[in-house]
Structure 1
Amino acid sequence: MSALPPAGGGLPRTVLRLHRAALLTWTVFVVGVSGWLAWLTKVTAYDPGSKGPSCYDVCVDGFSYPVQLSWAGDLIDYGFVGVAAFAGGALIGRELESGTARLAWTQGVTPVRWLAAKLALPALAVTVGGTVLSLVFRWAFAAHPDLSWENWTWAIAFTARGPLLVAYALCALAVGTLTALWLGRALAALGTAAGAMWLFSAVLTYYRPYLWPALTRTGPHAFDLPDGTWLVSEGSNSHGRFATYHPASHYWPLHLTETAIVLTVAVLATLLSFRLLKHRTESPA
């Protein structure tokens, strides 16, 4: 095992060297998915059969524009699960389990500096990469609305078209780190962190329409809502029909509210990680 050098400039450089394979993988992922989206937007979308069959369950064409756009969106949207697994398993958990971290702490690198260096470079990488993916997906999603089956209420598009995507990646990094420090085992931290982030995302997705006040429309008879609205609930009462919904203008309030929640969890997980590390390293062996 190799310890981290005490020199200020050597610590980030060593972290980069230790995890260059992960950084390369992340770079390939960002470039590859961005290139795929560019190809879909500039080439596939202009193919006469790009829209694909009109039915969904039986005859979906896997090479059509909307299907491939959905696949690319899935990769972007759930990339944070991989970030959580990396943070819990390789970034923190492996070094705690192997003893490399404790060796570094005995050679002039304080635990706080060690953890700060471990988090800084991956945080920068996921912020830059997530921003690129978000901008590219936003461009691709808006380029051919007539070919897409979805609108802004689609869970993938809701997340991937703004800062919420980066917020989830940073939260995954923080949660993976906290899980690794808590469990101290790479494999256990990997699975727990990935599962925790998936569950956290699922819960927020379920409660997403309630993060901002919805509008309510009533009438004595049945009525149609404008295109692009997100219907939350509808029914009838003694006054006639009613519908609770979000217009398209509510996208940013909903998106930014969820972003604030996710970033708050990321900050809390980071603070807890440093507090847990301090407690563990200051406690008698």
Structure 2
Amino acid sequence: MTSTAGSTAVPAARRGVRPRGLAWTVLRVHRPALLVWCGYVLLMVGWMLWVHHVPGARLRAELAACRELEGGCVDVMTFSHSLTQSWIGTFVAYSSYGVAAWAGASLVGRELERGTAQLAWAQSVSPARWLTARLAVPAVALAAGTTVLVLVYRWFWSASRDLRGDEWYYTDPFVNRGPAVLAYALCALAVGALAGIALGRALPALAVALGFVLWFHLYLDDHWYELWPTGTGTGTGGSRLPEGYPAAHFWPLHLMTTGVTLTVAALATGAAYWLLRRRTR
């Protein structure tokens, strides 16, 4: 009797520690997307570390050797190095585009189109709980991965000032050095979910979500300096640059941009819940 009870207790205990519930379902269904996101974060971190420690170190050594020459030498590598840094910043800053496309097409739109969402609702899972799980799980993954990217990028940007300059008001370093880049990702997630619920089809939701996030991101890129009262000037080529901004204005401007982006994310999230409730009455 004792051995029988013990043998039945062990499987029961094992079953008890297995992940379950809506969160586990989201992780299991969208595991490929999670692996892609983790791979992307690792790739960007590795790229920044390699650029700083390999070509960056070689370039610093060459520049030091040039300073010792009487006539100096022509510097042709700094531009190439700055271009690589720019590409890294662009990939980090605009990763929200991929988030919006995935959220609209796969996270919500495809499940509504295939009927798997309706099947879950018929199994005592309320539409609100269903949507909460599909927003909360990727939001946690985005927050974790983006925090790593922000911390590494801040170090990478600061450590490369000797090869690049201190143009903090350029779009990519302005967005990537604080929580604004995470706010964009969460906004893309919310907009993608709203588009998926509104359209109920994967491809149209992908197009609408990606289009909106593209427009919104580029709009704020051109107008973020208007969110904090200080002087501006006109740079080369006619583009307006915040020449009057001291470096101390970075955080007020950055946090204002983050607040605007999170407000849009909150509005999109609220609209998604409202629309889902209206359509499932």
- Asked if Structure 1 and Structure 2 have the same fold, meaning a TM-score greater than 0.5 normalized by the shorter chain, the answer is yes
Q: How many Å separate the matches in 2 of 1:51 and 1:118?
A: 51
1:69 aligns with 2:85: yes
Q: How many Å separate the matches in 2 of 1:82 and 1:265?
A: 18
1:203 aligns with 2:219: yes
Q: How many Å separate the matches in 2 of 1:113 and 1:143?
A: 45
* 96 and 66 in structure 1: CA distance in 2 versus 1, 3 angstrom threshold: same
Q: Which residue of structure 2 aligns with residue 153 of structure 1?
A: 169
Q: Which residue of structure 2 aligns with residue 232 of structure 1?
A: 233
Q: Which residue of structure 1 aligns with residue 248 of structure 2?
A: 249
Q: How many Å separate the matches in 1 of 2:120 and 2:206?
A: 22
Which 5+ residue runs of structure 1 have no aligned equivalent? 1-7, 53-58, 216-230, 235-242
Q: Specify which of 154, 162, 165 is matched with residue 138 of structure 1.
A: 154
Which 5+ residue runs of structure 2 have no aligned equivalent? 1-18, 64-74, 236-241
1:23 aligns with 2:34: yes
Residues 59 and 78 of structure 2 are in contact (CA less than 8 Å); yes or no, is this contact kept in structure 1? no
Q: How far has the Cα of 1:49 moved from its partner?
A: 7.5
1:82 aligns with 2:98: yes
Equivalenced residue count is 246
1:1-285 superposed matches below 5 A: 9-48=20-59, 64-148=80-164, 151-215=167-231, 231-233=232-234, 245-282=244-281
Q: How many Å separate the matches in 1 of 2:264 and 2:20?
A: 30
Larger deviation, residues 41-50 vs 171-180: 41-50
Q: 3-state DSSP class of the match of 1:48?
A: helix
Q: How many Å separate the matches in 2 of 1:155 and 1:60?
A: 25
Report % sequence identity. Answer: 47
TM-score scaled by structure 1?
0.81
Higher share of residues assigned strand: 1
TM-score scaled by structure 2?
0.82
Higher share of residues assigned helix: 2
* 63 and 108 in structure 1: CA distance in 2 versus 1, 3 angstrom threshold: farther
* 61 and 87 in structure 1: CA distance in 2 versus 1, 3 angstrom threshold: farther
Tell me the amino acid that sits aligned with residue 254 of structure 1. Answer: L
Q: How far has the Cα of 1:63 moved from its partner?
A: 9.3
Q: 3-state DSSP class of the match of 1:24?
A: helix
Tell me which structure has the larger Cα radius of gyration.
2
